[in-house]
Amino acid sequence: MFSAKLKKIFATMLVFASAFTANNFIIISPAKADFRICNDTKSLVGAALGYKEGEKWLSEGWFQIPAETCSSLVEGDLNSRFYYVYAEDADKGGQWRGDVFLCTNEREFKIEGVIDCFKRGHIKTGFFEIDTSNRANWMVRLTEETQNQSQTQPQQ
């Protein structure tokens, strides 16, 4: 039976050996776990994300996602089962929204709490819920077809 140290050395050698193919260097990286939003529209999209961290609610934004690209809003393994998304089409003015209300702001923000958004100088905004089923990573696609509809079951 191989020791843990020998296994690690052998795995490292395999990575280096497979990284050189026909004089081309190939960058090899481990699979990335994260929460991604893919903007499948032709417009810039601004997105906000809500989640629970321990016992406190947090909402943060604005994440700018250029047309026809994907962006990681949470990098690394996901720590929550449920995430909440609100997004706006910066060019055409459409929205992806839902019926879970969290606080947002007009400028970049990270807000703790979901109560009394207006009293605290924020905007009360409807987010749609995403149940990740405790997976380590998740991807949501925003399309023009789902724009201006209340989202209940976003695409994986």
Give domain limits for the chain.
34-142
Question: To which residue do tokens 């690209």 refer?
Answer: 69
Beta-carbon count within 10 A of 155 CB:
12
pLDDT for the residue numbered 134: 87
The mean pLDDT values, 10 residues at a time, for the chain of 156 residues are: 44 39 39 83 96 93 95 86 94 92 96 96 96 89 75 41
In this prediction, residue 135 carries a pLDDT of: 86
**Measuring CA to CA, which residue among 144, 34, 58 is closest to residue 109?**
58
Residue 154 Ramachandran class (φ > 0 left, ψ -120 to 50 alpha, else beta): beta
At 32 the pLDDT is: 62
- Give me the pLDDT at residue 77, please: 82
Tell me the C-alpha distance between 91 and 134, whole Å.
34
What span, in angstroms and rounded, lies between the C-alpha atoms of 9 and 15? 10
Domain 34-142 adopts which CATH fold? Immunoglobulin-like (2.60.40)
Give the C-alpha separation, 45 to 65, whole Å. 5
